[in-house]
Amino acid sequence: MSEQVQENEKLVESLIAENTEMKAKLKDMGTSPRLLSKGNVSKACSSCGSVKGLEEMRAQYIKSVSKIKSKYKRFS
């Protein structure tokens, strides 16, 4: 079980790093993460080709964090 906890901690750290990177990209684009979380992606930056990729990354991030939370709840 200790290996599982360590693996989850590494995954959390990598997701946090990925989230920080995405926030930096959004800041460079001049888009607020709050706007994206409310579904205003098309209004915020409709001409950006990378917005779809960022949306996919964000969705994967949220899905992964949810899985990790549920695993931690089971082991607690």
Task: Give the pLDDT confidence of 28-52 residue by residue, as tens digits.
Answer: 777 665 655 555 545 545 556 677 7
Residue 20 in this model has a pLDDT that exceeds 80: yes
Range of the domain at 14: 10-75
What average pLDDT does the structure give for the chain? 76
Q: How many domains does the chain have?
A: 1
1 within a domain of the structure (yes/no): no
Determine contact, residues 32/44, Cβ cutoff 8 Å.
yes
Report field, pTM of the whole predicted structure over 0.85: no
Tokens of 32: 């607020």
Q: How far apart are CA 65 and CA 63, in angstroms?
A: 6
pLDDT at 6: 83
Q: Coil, helix or strand for 27?
A: helix
27 within a domain of the structure (yes/no): yes
4 within a domain of the structure (yes/no): no
Per-residue CA distances from 63 to 31, 60, 69 (Å): 22, 5, 10
22 within a domain of the structure (yes/no): yes
Rg value, the chain, Cα: 15
Residue 8 in this model has a pLDDT that exceeds 70: yes
pLDDT at 74: 79
35 within a domain of the structure (yes/no): yes
